Copies of this chain bind each other. A is one copy, B any other.
Amino acid sequence: MDIEIMGEIRRKRPLIHCITNYVTANDVANIILAAGGCAVMADGEREVEDIVSISQGLVINMGTLKEGTIPAMIKAGKRANELGIPVVFDPVGAGASRFRTEACKRVFEQIKVSLARGNASEIKALAKALEENGRPQAPTPEAGRTKGVDVSEKDRLTEENLQKNIIFAEDFAKRHGIMCLMTGNTDIATDGDRTFLAENGTPMMAGITGAGCMLDGLAALFLAAQGHGGDVFTAALAAAAEGYCGQRAEERIREQRRLFPAYPAGTGSFRTFLIDGISCLTDEELKEGMKIEAWKR
């Protein structure tokens, strides 16, 4: 199978409209540009519909959420639905506060999400909220549901719980008619019918902020470049691309440490190298480096 996504992105230069948080907005814009796309960050209620209208993909990321941004997210999402462009939804920190969980539910229910992207804790908290009629409960550390924006110990993907998580993600995707990209040691991309596992990545990615937010941007860009809303393999490919560049960045850290042992490179360099990697990534390299396999029950 030939991979042609990086070439497509650089030819089409899709514009991705991101409604995202102020912590990682710079990284998200930079990784979209690095991959060859264009990015516009805009979250004012009065302008998001105009901005969506000139865009080829939309990211809605719930980090650093303010009450006032929710209507902007819904307006942007609805306009994206009208235009048929892909909507990537990231329930950042769902489960970490009732407000977040409710807001995720509210936005999700009013728009047609193309792809939900989150760690296992977030996807489970979103799924639970969507099933509940009443109000979400307050988070408790004991419940193990969340560690803020990081996955809880309990929800961390392991070989043991992988199959259970795949089934969960598939059911979630099927129930809502969306694609789901549940990321962790293994990234699970599914539309309910077809499921791909991407094994790229390194634990170092959890050592920087924004690896998930950057993947939101890349996924929207990949889906936009593929056209027709994109499919679940392309979502897996976005995860594999970031994960592969993460692996490369880690190898580069090791090379740097070998060459300059007195002052070892660390997570600051890792972040730079990750974006470097995306900016240099070719389809040939991605095809060679990606570890994606179709999941068969």
A: which residues have CB within 8 A of B? 13, 15, 17, 21-27, 29-30, 33-34, 38-48, 50-51, 53-55, 63-67, 93, 96-100, 138-141, 146-150, 206-210, 248-249, 251-252, 255, 260, 262-269, 271-280
> Are B252's CB and A53's CB within 8 A?
no
Interchain nearest-CB distance for A158 vs B (Å)? 18
Supply 15 A–B pairs (Cβ within 8 Å), ascending by A.
Answer: A13-B147, A26-B26, A38-B147, A40-B149, A47-B65, A50-B97, A53-B139, A54-B147, A248-B263, A252-B262, A266-B277, A267-B275, A268-B271, A268-B275, A269-B276
> Are B54's CB and A148's CB within 8 A?
yes
> Are A50's CB and B251's CB within 8 A?
no
> Are A97's CB and B141's CB within 8 A?
no
A30-B209, A150-B38 are contacts. A99–B255 as well, Cβ < 8 Å? Answer: no
Q: Among B40, B139, B276, point to the contact of A50 (Cβ < 8 A).
A: B139
Q: Among B44, B255, B263, B272, point to the contact of A262 (Cβ < 8 A).
A: B255
A25 and B282 alpha carbons, distance in the complex (Å) = 31
In the assembled complex, which residues on chain B have CB atoms less than 8 Å from the CB atom of A44? Answer: 64-67, 99
Interchain nearest-CB distance for A87 vs B (Å)? 17
> Are A96's CB and B51's CB within 8 A?
yes
A162 and B223 alpha carbons, distance in the complex (Å) = 36
A150 and B279 alpha carbons, distance in the complex (Å) = 18
Q: How many copies does the complex hold?
A: 3
A54 and B141 alpha carbons, distance in the complex (Å) = 5
A25-B23, A44-B65, A55-B148 are contacts. A278–B266 as well, Cβ < 8 Å? Answer: yes
> Are B33's CB and A267's CB within 8 A?
yes
In the assembled complex, which residues on chain B have CB atoms less than 8 Å from the CB atom of A100? Answer: 47, 50
A124 and B51 alpha carbons, distance in the complex (Å) = 18
> Are B251's CB and A263's CB within 8 A?
yes
> Are B279's CB and A266's CB within 8 A?
yes
> Are B263's CB and A274's CB within 8 A?
no
Residue in B closest to A148 when the chains form the complex, CB atoms: B40
Residue in B closest to A248 when the chains form the complex, CB atoms: B263
Interchain nearest-CB distance for A162 vs B (Å)? 23
> Are B276's CB and A268's CB within 8 A?
yes
In the assembled complex, which residues on chain B have CB atoms less than 8 Å from the CB atom of A266? Answer: 34, 275-280
In the assembled complex, which residues on chain B have CB atoms less than 8 Å from the CB atom of A146? Answer: 54
Residue in B closest to A207 when the chains form the complex, CB atoms: B33
